[in-house]
Amino acid sequence: MKKKLLVLLSIMLLLFAPVYTTTQNVLANSKHQSTTKRVFNDRNYKGKVNDKNTSTSVLPFIKDYKTGLSIKQKINDDGTIHVRYDGNPSLIANFQTAIATWNKLGVIKFKIVDDSSAVVNVHGNLTSKEDNDNPYYIKGNLGDTNNYVDYNSLIVLSDGTKMNYISNSNIFLYSDVSKLSDNNKNHIIIHELGHALGFDDLYSQKDRGLMMFYNAQTGSTLLNKLGSDEKNSLKHYYQ
Residue numbers at the binding site for Zn ion (CB under 5 A): 27-28, 201
143-156 and 162-173 beta bridge pairing: antiparallel
Q: How far is the CB of 39 from Zn ion (least distance, A)?
A: 13
Q: How far is the CB of 137 from Zn ion (least distance, A)?
A: 15
Which residue lies nearer to Zn ion by CB, 50 or 80? 50
Which residue lies nearer to Zn ion by CB, 201 or 229? 201
Q: How far is the CB of 237 from Zn ion (least distance, A)?
A: 17
Which residue lies nearer to Zn ion by CB, 80 or 224? 224
Which residue lies nearer to Zn ion by CB, 117 or 217? 217
- How many other β-carbons are positioned within 10 Å of the β-carbon of residue 236? 19
Q: How far is the CB of 91 from Zn ion (least distance, A)?
A: 18
Q: How far is the CB of 225 from Zn ion (least distance, A)?
A: 16
Ordered DSSP codes for 110-177: EEE-SSTT-SEEEEE--SHHHHHHSTT--TT--EEEEEEEEEEEEEE-TTS-EEEEEEEEEEEE-GGG
Please choose, from the candidates 181, 176, 187, the residue with its C-alpha nearest in 3D space to the C-alpha of residue 214.
Answer: 187
Contact 108, 196 (CB under 8 A): no
H helix or E strand, kind and range, residue 72:
strand 70-73
Residue nearest to Zn ion (CB): 28
Contact 124, 173 (CB under 8 A): yes
